[in-house]
Structure 1
Amino acid sequence: MRRTPVPLLVTASAVALLTACGGGEDPPADAGQDTAAADTSPAESTDEPELSATLVDPDGTEVGTVEITEVDEGTEVVVEVDGLPPGFHGLHLHSIGVCEPDSANPTDPSMTGDFLSAGGHIGAGESDHGQHPGDLPSLYVAESGTGSLTAVTGALTPADLTDDDGSAVMVHAGADNFANIPERYAAGGPDETTRGTGDSGGRIACGAVEG
């Protein structure tokens, strides 16, 4: 069944998106439930993650971790990386849980490259990029090489990531434009590559999702 993605709730350590507000007085002890009900920030699960992945680069060096947990709002994906190039990087869930460097594309064995074994985005072929269930917000990496991101998506569940051929978390070399190419820049709109991947470039880190 084709799923229609819903907006993602995102927090990132490298960019402060929200600022706290309020007075200096502590809330009364019996106001805990009311305070929690008024909190509109993404819920963080206190449960152990249901799924996880270890991100490695093409040389096999570990560069990060991913934890995936079902929360009230949907599926929470928490990414922590260290040792990646600074800047924004496309971040996606791919359809096959195999991360092999210099591997063949499962749909076109004549194409080889790093982590092509993981196939395309989950949902690719059903809609254009930016609307794939496997699309996630871009990951920002600071000059130190570290970065983190928490996203909550309602487009898929943890169970969707553990089908017969599994799934993988992929970090790309470049920023993801989510196929947002207005016609004033390109009369025909985004081309096939942009509609497929958001022009995020090569695959620099991959982690097979495990239960």
Structure 2
Amino acid sequence: MLTSKLEVLVDFGPKVDAQVLDKTLNELKSHDGVKEAVFKDGAIMVDTSLPSSRVLEMVMNTSGKRAVLQGFGETQSAVAMISSQACCNSRVLGVIRFQQSTEGPLVADGSIDGLPSGLHGLHVHDTGDLSQGCGSIGSHYNPHGSSHGAPSDPPHCRHAGDLGNIVADEAGRATFRIVDDVLKVWDIVGRSVAVTERRDDLGRGVSPSSKEDGDSGSPIACGIIARSAGIFQNPKRICACDGVVVWDEKDRPLAGKGRRVEDREQKRCCQKETEEDHMRPCCKV
């Protein structure tokens, strides 16, 4: 089973409680899908085939401490912050991380909240243009000029960006880990990834759009794919863009309402937009 290495920061405080640390490491090692769990350079390093969000939940539930994913993968990595791109009523939010494994396949590891329950298509698109939200990200990434298909199909029978379906539970959360043999991290940085309103029929349907997009409908959330840090490559504990420290960031949304003190000004702007039906610059997230 292909595994990924995760660097998990845990808010142990000024001094690590050895008993809590041992309990957390032993809990992780007891789960199928966890190959290794060790404490190294102030963080827990986990070698696992499980989705990173599941690992974080295990760490937090066992230790009783806050935890964040600081690094993902030993080799080239990328990340996309997913949202529905709406100004004031953005409901879909999530993160998808990509890792180029040394064995060859790409791993797409994600957790997305706010989705309608059920199946939703997941695709990498041509461009990272969000000037018109998810309406300007182009078609599926398709360097081979193929028709739409399933992730299990050979390259000439699928778009390179076809990653199949993810499943949202009744609470609207989709947690997934996809291993793909066609995509490469260096080919998708600067492009975008999107989640669609309906399930992807994988090119097997009777609809005219089946061979174009799996009859999966329009994207309901998307984000630009950017380079990111692998394990032990990011020593930062504060976001320079908005001054939010790593533990504060854990309890705040990725963007929008509640992110910064200035959100009060954004709220007034959004209220004005609702009244005038016109988007203001300070209202974008």
What residue in structure 2 maps to residue 175 of structure 1? Answer: 199
The Cα of 1:193 is off from its aligned counterpart by: 1.5
| Match among 201, 205, 208 for residue 221 of structure 2 | 205
Distance 1:175 1:43, change over 3 A: closer
Q: Is the 8 A contact 2:160 2:182 kept in 1?
A: yes
The Cα of 1:168 is off from its aligned counterpart by: 0.5
Q: Is the 8 A contact 1:73 1:153 kept in 2?
A: no
What residue in structure 1 maps to residue 95 of structure 2? Answer: 65
CA RMSD in angstroms comes to: 2.8
The Cα of 1:98 is off from its aligned counterpart by: 1.9
For structure 1, list consecutive stretches of 5 or more residues without a partner in the other structure.
1-8, 10-31, 33-40, 104-113, 182-189
Superposition pairs for residues 27-66 of structure 1, below 5 Å?
Answer: 46-47=73-74, 50-60=77-87, 61=90, 63-66=93-96
Q: Name the TM-score, length of structure 1 as normaliser.
A: 0.64
| Distance in structure 2 (CA, Å) of the matches to 1:124 and 1:193 | 19
Q: Is the 8 A contact 2:164 2:202 kept in 1?
A: no
| Distance in structure 1 (CA, Å) of the matches to 2:74 and 2:143 | 31
For residue 195 of structure 1, give the secondary structure of its aligned residue in structure 2. helix
Matched, 1:74 2:105: yes
**Structure 1 letter corresponding to 2:134:** F
What residue in structure 2 maps to residue 119 of structure 1? Answer: 138
Sequence identity (%): 27
Q: Is the 8 A contact 1:49 1:67 kept in 2?
A: no
| Distance in structure 1 (CA, Å) of the matches to 2:144 and 2:208 | 11
Question: Which whole-Å deviations, capped at 9, do the CAs of 1:53-109 have from their partners, x for residues lacking one?
Answer: 100113153610010111124111111111111110010000101234xx3xxxxxx
Larger Rg over CA atoms: 2
Q: Is the 8 A contact 2:160 2:183 kept in 1?
A: yes
| Distance in structure 1 (CA, Å) of the matches to 2:166 and 2:76 | 20
| Distance in structure 2 (CA, Å) of the matches to 1:119 and 1:78 | 23
| Distance in structure 2 (CA, Å) of the matches to 1:86 and 1:70 | 30
What residue in structure 1 maps to residue 172 of structure 2? Answer: 145
Could you list the runs of 4 or more consecutive aligned residues of structure 1 that deviate by over 6 angstroms after TM superposition? none
Tell me the matched-pair count: 152
**Structure 2 letter corresponding to 1:81:** I
What residue in structure 2 maps to residue 99 of structure 1? Answer: 130
What residue in structure 2 maps to residue 155 of structure 1? Answer: 182
The Cα of 1:50 is off from its aligned counterpart by: 1.3
| Distance in structure 1 (CA, Å) of the matches to 2:128 and 2:106 | 18
For residue 136 of structure 1, give the secondary structure of its aligned residue in structure 2. strand
**Structure 1 letter corresponding to 2:195:** V
Greater RCO (Cα-Cα under 8 Å, separation 6 or more):
1
Q: Which has the higher helix share?
A: 2
| Distance in structure 2 (CA, Å) of the matches to 1:59 and 1:48 | 34
Q: Is the 8 A contact 2:141 2:161 kept in 1?
A: yes
**Structure 2 letter corresponding to 1:116:** G
Distance 1:121 1:129, change over 3 A: same
| Distance in structure 2 (CA, Å) of the matches to 1:167 and 1:195 | 21
